[in-house]
Each structure stands twice: as structure tokens, then as C-alpha cells.
Chain A
Amino acid sequence: MASLILSPAEQDYIIRGVESGFRADGRGSLDRREVSLRTGMISQANGSARCRIGNLGVGTDVLVGVKAEVNSWTPGEPEDLGSIVCNVECSPSAAQEFEGRGAEEINVELTQLLDRILNGPQSGLDLKKLCIIPKQAYWVLHIDALVLDVKGSIVDTLVWATRAALMSTSLPRVVVETIGDEMGNMQAEFDVVDDPEDLTPLEGAENLPISVTFSQIGKRYVVDASEQEEVVTQAKLTVAVSPVMEICAIQKGGMFRGFPPSLLAEILEIAQRIAREELTRFDVHYAQAKSHLSSQADEPSTGSTFLVQF
């Protein structure tokens, strides 16, 4: 994903800087950039969030929408669980190489990574609560992410935005009735309440993990790599940590180098500390986003609420 071309001198400058603990934009090797988070801007979706990670109003921008759909059960599927389907797409507006089929590889990589974090008990979501009637009907949550701009650190922004979107997701209330037919068999039937005000929030979304990506540059590593730093990154490690400090997923990226085991052990230890700080930071931003949304509830919603103050 190297659309940025750096001269050998610039690359050397970044590598030696990181090895001495300095970064091109003045951050320390473990410092992360500013975050802008907004939720609920897509009225047709059950939950949505937009997250931008970057300084000075420019950064990696990801928009996530969550849509819930009722699916009929088919034999072979788990009998009492709902399911989650992820899809990540990098928009051609983010980088020139994403035009046409250029984004196919990275779309697959990000989709599978998100799926690995969310599908299963490691996500913290209670999939049993998404079941409406066992062996008959269940909720499917379609999580669609659109990457609008890329300035380094896509995975972390994606997971932030997905976490915010799922935390702000609310499903319509479902009324389940058991009625008997003429044979005397009890059949369960459900009805989705159509009232847009009658919603139940998604349970377990606050247990979702947050991800921290470590980029190995030279002999040291940095967190939240910028676009220039990603060009010289030789290997990456993404660690997803849940609020109870459990490791939910680890994936190595980058094809130029491997990690020495001592560096790996150091990274895994630091990942917990950084994840704890990130989760606190997330809660602050999410609360701000929610209060911003409720303060705007009386204003007529126009297209400009999407762009302004972001």
C-alpha cells in the first residue's frame, strides 16, 4: 500500500529517527494521534460511526454502518445464535491504487481481520441474544466499513469505528408469540415492532476489543504509524485486546521481515498498557460523540452535520 514514494534519504531519516526514539511529526514511539469520533450520522442504519485518526484534521478516515436483518434458519447453522457479517471496502477516493480492482487484496485482508475479531466469543457480543426463535429466525448484523482516506494505521481506525458503531447500534424490538395450529402443535411466531422509537441496544458491545498496531521500523517499533512511516515499515503486528485485558486476536502483517522473539515479547506486554489507555480514550470520545448527537437532536438534520465539526 505504498502510494507514497519516499527518497532513500527520507527513508533513512525516518528509520534512524525511530531507532533513536524520535518520529518525523514529533511524537514519541508510543504516542498516538488525535481522534475524531462521531456516531449516529446514518439515519437508515441501525448503528453508525465515523472515526478519523490523525493530527490537524487530516488522517485515516473510516465510516462504519451496521444494518440488522432477520434471517431464516437453515439446517447446519448453529441453532440458537445470531451472526455477524463483515465487509470492508477501501474507496478509490482514499488512494489512487484503490481504483478498479486495486483494492481487492486489502479489502479481503481487512474484512477477514475484522471477521476474526468479531465473529466468535472473543468479540464479547452475546450472539445468543441475537437469536429470535431457535431453529427458525435470528438477527444478522451486517457491518459495512468504508475507508474514505488513508494516512497510516487503517486497522486501528477501522476497529475504533466498528466499536463505536456497534456500541451505538440498537435493534427494533421483537415480539415472540407461541400459537397453536389445528393439530395442537405450538408454533412460535415473531413480529418486529415498527416503531422507530422502540429500540433495544445491542448487548455486549462494550466488551468489544480495541486494536493496537505495532510497526517495526529498523530495530525498534512505533505505534500508530503515519503514512510515511508505513512506507518504511518492514513488519506489523496487530494485537486486539478486550476491556478485561484478554488478547482477542493477533495478526502479523508485512512481508519483508519477521520479529525477533524478544521484540515480540516486549510488544505483547506493552500492548496491554496501550490498550488500557486507548480504551479510556475511546470512552471519552464516545461519550462526547453521544452528547454531540443528543444536543443536535432538535436541529433539522441536514447533510452538513456529516462534514461540519469533524
Chain B
Amino acid sequence: MSLNIADRRRINGPQRSVEPVYTTKAADPFATGRLDERALDQVRPIFIKTGPLDAQSLSAAAPSGSAYYEQGKIRVSCAIYGPRQGRKSNARMGSFDCDFKYAPFSCSWKRSHIKTSDEKEIALMLENSVAPAIRLEAYPKASIDAFVTVIESDGKAATIAAAINCISAALADAGIELYDSVAACSMALHGEQWVSDCSQAEENASTCSLLVARMPSADEITYLLQHGKTTPEQTQQAIQTCANDCTRVYAVICRYLQATLE
């Protein structure tokens, strides 16, 4: 719009506007070691607390089990409802359903209140990771529902791993019969080096992310997700390393659950 007749009553701004230029670029998160000074194969410190959502009075609406899980800056909470009446009254095995939601303030941009398709997909991922550990044949016609809320997220793969660990702790708190606890861990590929448990900045700077969920006692890998391109040898090596990290996380969950019994 280039009118020669300018608006003389106002002070006119320029006709064309250009966005401001920022001279500082985001720092490379791996420039001098990791930003939080961890080793490349070190998982972030974990805090677990079960039972924070128990109602004071035994109301029927209270969840059977719940857990609050922190890993570095990631904060996840999970509530388990069940075993309660399932949808199908003729089912031989129980059903396990997961509901996953990012809180609107949990990521660096505001998330929608309505569930988006990636939240629905993550819910399916959580079901696929944790259901193998549950003795569903002990709960015919019943359904066990897990409701996971991410209060703060820091790295997509790491947050999903944290959600899996949180559900494991909550299921144990709910007294659901399990074959084993599922522990999950994530890694990201930066150049040629696999780095364990990456934060969001580190994940953005990486070319590939890997998520592994494992049942250490049964020695089964219950979930595997690779997003990005690698050579087959890199994938094989990463799966092994990540599975070892899962065992370390599993030890933390088990030690906590044991401590709650004392």
C-alpha cells in the first residue's frame, strides 16, 4: 500500500515492517560438556512419591493408586483407577487403558486444552509399554485405567520415559498384580555419540532419539521407538546401552517401593 496521500493527522510508521534481528544465537548445548554438568551416560536424578492423590476419607471416587515422579526438570503425575467394571462384560482378560495429557503450561509453548493427536499417540505408546507387565488374566471383565498428566516436560522422549516409570510406580501403589515393573529410558544421537536422558535443548540439537522400555526381571523389551536416522550398528549399540540405563532406573523404582513398605 503506497499511497502518496499520507495520513497527516498521525505520525505514520514505516509501510513495511521487518522482524527484529537477534545477534546472539542459541548456544550449542554440547559445546562444553552438558549444560547441567552430567556425564554423557548419566541419567538425571529421580524422585518418586506414591500415594499423593489418596483421599483422606475412603471415598469411592479416589484413585486406587497414584504416583508423582520427577526426573531432573520433568514432573509427571499418574493416577490409577481400577480394577473397575470394564466395557465388555464377556472379556476373558482385563483391559488396560492409558490417558495422557500435557498440562497447558508444561512445554515451552502453550499447549491446547483439547487432546491433540500426538497426546493420543503417546497414550497408545504407554499402553503398549506397560500392559505386558500387568497380569490382565487375573482381572477378567475389569478395566484398569491410568491417567497421566505431565506437569513439566523437558525432552519429548525423556518425558515419555518418565511417564512409563510413573505408571509403574502407581500400579505398584494400587496393588495391581504385575509380572515386573517397567522401567524406561531415552537416548539421543549427537553426531556419532549417544547421550543418555537428553533435555529439550539437547534433543533439539540431536539427529535421532531412542526410547526403550524394559522389564529387567523378565528380560523383555516392552517398548522401542526410534525417531531419526542411524546405521544399524548404532541402533544395536544404543539399544544395549539404553537397556542398561533402564535397569539403573528400575533399581531406583524398586528401592523406593521397598522403602515404602518399611
Contacts and interface: CB of A to CB of B under 8 A. Distances in A.
Interface of A: 75, 104-105, 108-109, 111-112, 116, 120-122, 181-183, 185, 235, 237, 242, 245-261, 264-265, 268-269, 271-272
A246 to B, nearest CB: 5
Interface string B1-26: 01000000000000110010000000
Given A254-B128, A257-B132, A264-B224, 5 more contacts: A121-B229, A247-B230, A247-B235, A256-B132, A264-B239
Contacts of B85: none
Interface residues of B, number: 39
Interface in B10-50: 15-16, 19
B224 A246 contact: no
A111 B235 contact: no
A256 B227 CA distance: 23
A247 B231 contact: yes
B262 interface: no
Contacts of B232: 245-247, 268-269, 271-272
Contact of A242 (B221, B224, B229, B239): B229
B120 to A, nearest CB: 5
A182 B2 contact: yes
Interface in B198-220: 207-208, 213-215, 218-220
B225 interface: yes
Nearest to A264: B221
Q: Which A-B residue pairs are the 5 nearest by beta carbons? A: A258-B220, A258-B222, A255-B131, A122-B229, A250-B226
B236 A268 contact: yes
B96, B227, B230, B235, most chain A CB atoms within 10 A: B227
Interface in B104-150: 117-118, 120-121, 124, 127-128, 131-132
B224 A237 contact: yes
Given A258-B215, A258-B221, A261-B243, A108 B124 contact: yes
Nearest to B16: A185
B175 interface: no
B52 interface: no
B93 to A, nearest CB: 9
A121, A248, A252, A269, most chain B CB atoms within 10 A: A252
Interface in B86-111: 96
Contacts of A116: 227
Nearest to A262: B219
Contacts of B229: 121-122, 242, 246-248
B43 to A, nearest CB: 19
A108 B215 contact: no
A134 B239 CA distance: 39
Nearest to A182: B2
A252 B207 contact: no
Contacts of A182: 2
A242 B128 CA distance: 26
B224 A252 contact: yes
Given A108-B121, A272-B232, A255 B221 contact: no
Contacts of B207: 121
Nearest to B220: A258
A255 B131 CA distance: 6
B226 to A, nearest CB: 4
A250 B228 contact: no
B223 interface: yes
B85 to A, nearest CB: 20
A250 B242 CA distance: 15
A246 B224 CA distance: 17
Contact of A259 (B121, B220, B225, B240): B220
A213 to B, nearest CB: 13
A299 to B, nearest CB: 41
A44 B213 CA distance: 44
A255 B225 contact: no
16 contacts: A108-B120, A121-B228, A122-B208, A122-B227, A122-B229, A246-B230, A247-B226, A247-B230, A247-B231, A252-B222, A256-B131, A257-B222, A258-B218, A258-B222, A258-B223, A264-B224
Contacts of B222: 252, 257-258
Contacts of B225: 250-252
Given A255-B127, A261-B221, A122 B228 contact: yes
A84 to B, nearest CB: 15
Contacts of A269: 232
A293 B205 CA distance: 44
A183 B2 CA distance: 10
B222, B226, B230, B243, most chain A CB atoms within 10 A: B226
